[in-house]
Amino acid sequence: MADSFFTSRPPLLASQVLAELGPVLTGERDLSHTANGALEVVMAAIRAGSGALFRFQEKPAMLASIAAQGFVVFPQTAVFPLLPKHVHALTNVPGPQRISRERCDTFLSSTGNISSVWFRCIAPLRVHGKLIGALLMGEREEGAEYTPEVLKQIGDLAPFIALAMYNHQLMMSLEERTADNLKLIASVHSFWDDALAAFAATIDVKHIQMQGHSLRVGRYAAGMAESLGMGASEISEMRAAGYLHNIGMVTVDKHLFMKPGALEPGEFQEMADHTVQGHRIVSTVQFPWPKIPEVVRSHHERADGSGYPDHLHNDEVSMPVKIVAVADTFDAMLSDRPYRKKLSLGEAAAQLSWLAPAKLDGEVVHSLLVQLRRDAVSHVSPPRPWSSSGHESKTRKMFLDPAVPCNISPTDIDHMVSELNRRMTRGRVTLA
């Protein structure tokens, strides 16, 4: 502590004090540690028994303590509210001043939670003429006076302490601004979500059986991303990728969507080209998510290379592509098409599971089954309002689109997971 520190040492030369103060002020520590360290060095240098360091706050004007030493009792944060005349005096006084019961009203008010009678000297801390804080020193050892030499010594040290406090405030301000920017980015992402959801709805207007498809794919892709442990930004990316995966469909003749039978080769090619056309469209847009173009181009690729347009294998596409491929296939199975009726949820889940790992990624299909099981459990055992665990279930957003009846049991899904696991294990991949 300061007491033993200064009583065991002779007075320090200014250069020695600065040598000690430098590392204290420039160390990578928080403001409280730095302030206490600086206060200790100053107290030792001038043989003061007590002292406190205050930070100036502009609105409302006040000095608030950030370090104090040598007092028997001291508020956790001592405060001197300041009137304009106090701020003016502290901003313009040439250097450290002795203060007495009579003189203290020049610099400090008496309306704070601490009395100015504890202090004998005040040194304003300023940077470029701007008030940053104040150093208030108490009694010196053996009642020694604050001589002009001692005041000068304090005045020599004060700018360094002021600069350290000023830099810390700048850093805090920078951190606050960074946090504000992150919030702004988050709000921009929210804007993207809303805008893309509206856009997704327009992609699917070509045929009534396609309506809502892109929105649902976005919903399912985001749910699977969550199940796979992805972060908030990646989940947003998956939702956006689902919304936009079929954007190239805007270039396809709408009569092809209504054709009841199989497409002619030329017609199929036009339909398949929605991947390439879509990729061309989104490649010109600077999205906040980097994977959108790849998802748009490759969501019809299949794990064994039988997909289109580039016949890529499972290890040649990214996880977002695999997720949207499963979400897209899942929703298509649950929807009527001109050439077939929609499947039940159980049939769709079983077929989807059967397609992994040959056609679809097994880990991603598993993530879908996990979400379906959660829905099935909620469906079988609706949450009770007085149960805390039930409350959590009640507030959980359902994975399935509300229009899809959840007529599948958790046990059925468990069998599918076991079967999937067995096939994956045979393929040397084990699901957790």
Residues of the shown chain interacting with Fe ion in the complex, contacts defined by CB under 5 A: 246
> Nearer to Fe ion by C-beta: 245 or 374?
245
Q: How far is the CB of 332 from Fe ion (least distance, A)?
A: 9
* Minimum CB–partner distance for residue 272 and Fe ion (Å): 9
Q: How far is the CB of 428 from Fe ion (least distance, A)?
A: 30
DSSP string, 315-346: GGS-HHHHHHHHHHHHHHHTS-BTTBPPPPHH
CB of 209 to Fe ion, least distance (A): 14
Structure tokens at 234: 């990646």
- 328 versus 375: smaller Cβ distance to Fe ion: 328
Judged by beta carbon, residue 12 or residue 333, the one nearer Fe ion is: 333
> Shortest distance, CB of residue 271 to Fe ion, whole angstroms?
9
Question: With respect to Fe ion, which residue has the nearer C-beta, 77 or 306?
Answer: 306
Q: Which helix (H) or strand (E) covers residue 125, if one does? A: strand 121-127
Of 50 and 246, the one with the shorter C-beta distance to Fe ion is 246
* CB-based burial label for 202 (10 Å; 0-12, 13-18, 19+): exposed
Position of minimal CB gap to Fe ion:
246
Given the complex with Fe ion, which of 132 and 244 has the nearer CB atom? 244
Q: Which of 168, 245 has the CB closer to Fe ion?
A: 245
- Among left, alpha and beta (phi > 0; psi -120 to 50; other), residue 301 is beta
Looking at beta carbons, which pairs linking 304-310 to residues 24 or more positions away fall under 8 Å?
304/358, 304/359, 306/359, 308/272, 308/275, 309/272, 309/273, 309/275, 309/276
Beta carbon of residue 381, minimum distance to Fe ion (angstroms, whole number): 36
Residue 354 φ/ψ, nearest 5 degrees? -65, -30
Of 252 and 343, the one with the shorter C-beta distance to Fe ion is 252
Task: Please identify, using beta-carbon distances, which residue of 74 and 257 lies nearer to Fe ion.
Answer: 257
Q: How far apart are CA 66 and CA 404, in angstroms?
A: 60
How far is Cα 327 from Cα 138, in angstroms, rounded to an integer?
72
Nearer to Fe ion, 280 or 379 (CB): 280
Neighbouring-strand partners of residue 313: 304
Q: How many CA atoms lie within 13 A of 200 on its CB side?
A: 22
For residue 57, the minimal CB distance to Fe ion (Å) is 59
* Residue 245 CB, nearest approach to Fe ion (Å): 6
Q: How far is the CB of 287 from Fe ion (least distance, A)?
A: 18
Candidates 140, 142, 152; CA nearest to 43 is 140
CB of 420 to Fe ion, least distance (A): 24
**Tokens read off for 178:** 């960074």
Instruction: Report which of 257, 226, 253, 229 is spatially closest to residue 242, judged by C-alpha positions.
Output: 226
3-state helix, strand, coil in the chain (%, to 5): 60, 10, 35
- Using the Cα atoms of residue 67, residue 68, residue 74 and residue 78 in order, give the sign of their dihedral: negative
Q: What is the dihedral of CA 105, 106, 107, 111, to 10 degrees?
A: 30
Q: Are 345 and 220 in contact (CB under 8 A)?
A: no
